[in-house]
Amino acid sequence: MVSTFELNENCKSSVEFLEDTEIHYLDDFYKNPQEVVDFILSTKATYHKLNSPGHNSEYFHDMRHYASADVSHVYGFLSKLCNQKPADDDGFVVTNYMSLCDHPFNDYQNNYWWPHVDFGWTALIYLSDDEENGTNLYRCLEESENQDRGNTHEHLHPWRPKRYYELVKSIKPRYNRCVMFNGGDYLHGQNVTNKKYFGNVFRLNQVLFFEHE
């Protein structure tokens, strides 16, 4: 039986060298990306960490899909690129599903959305029609900001002042593009450049996490 998540054997692969690491780009990643989107959206999205303090569901909608599917071949393929083992159960598809309310709280012009680190390498598969609102990699310029961010919750004060961060790289999104970068070494977060995802339009990514042995 052919998997909904069948990889495109003719995907376009390239590597960008960034400081002492790499960013991998795999364009046209899935053979049938619309089938992937349809499958994901057939599963109900749930609010991420809704019981934690913050404004999720009030000023923004930070949600996840956890869809049961065999994506072990996707993890296996990407694991060979980053030389790290999967951090998650490969029997589930996990997404970032996000929209913002048109409210002064969401001041994207003066702030970055929640710079954070992951376990190790991170793979994002962009599944929205967008070539602007991708992913930023940062370096924090103030230790006090690191401490302040560490003492709050991502949904309580998600917007962090741009003056405290150096933008190291802005990764461009593209429909059905997979990007892999070292999410354990670089602070990163979604790049909000306009109001495309303000209102009822959601930004959809599939996300896969990896970690050191």
Domain annotation covers residue 5:
no
Q: For the whole model, what pTM was predicted?
A: 0.96
Domain annotation covers residue 6:
no
What is the pLDDT tens value at each position of the chain, 213 positions in all? 568 999 999 999 999 999 999 999 999 999 999 999 999 999 999 999 999 999 999 999 999 999 999 999 999 999 999 999 999 877 899 999 999 999 999 999 999 999 999 999 999 999 999 999 999 999 999 999 999 999 999 999 999 999 999 999 999 999 999 999 999 999 999 999 999 999 999 999 999 999 976
Distance from chain centroid for Cα 190? 6
SS3 191: coil
Domain annotation covers residue 2:
no
CA atoms within a 13 Å half-sphere pointing along the CA-CB vector of 73: 12
Distance from chain centroid for Cα 138? 14
CB 139 within 8 Å of CB 168: yes
Q: Which residues contact 39 (CB under 8 A, 6 or more apart)?
A: 4, 67, 69, 93
Q: Which residues contact 167 (CB under 8 A, 6 or more apart)?
A: 136, 137, 138
Q: How many domains does the chain have?
A: 1
Separation between Cα atoms, residue 112 and residue 109, nearest integer Å: 8
Please write the tens of the pLDDT for every residue from 79-124.
999 999 999 877 899 999 999 999 999 999 999 999 999 999 999 9
Domain annotation covers residue 36:
yes
Domain span at 55: 12-211
Distance from chain centroid for Cα 64? 11
Distance from chain centroid for Cα 53? 22
Report the relative pairing of strands 66-68 and 187-190 from DSSP bridges. unpaired
- Supply the CATH number for residue 161's domain: 2.60.120
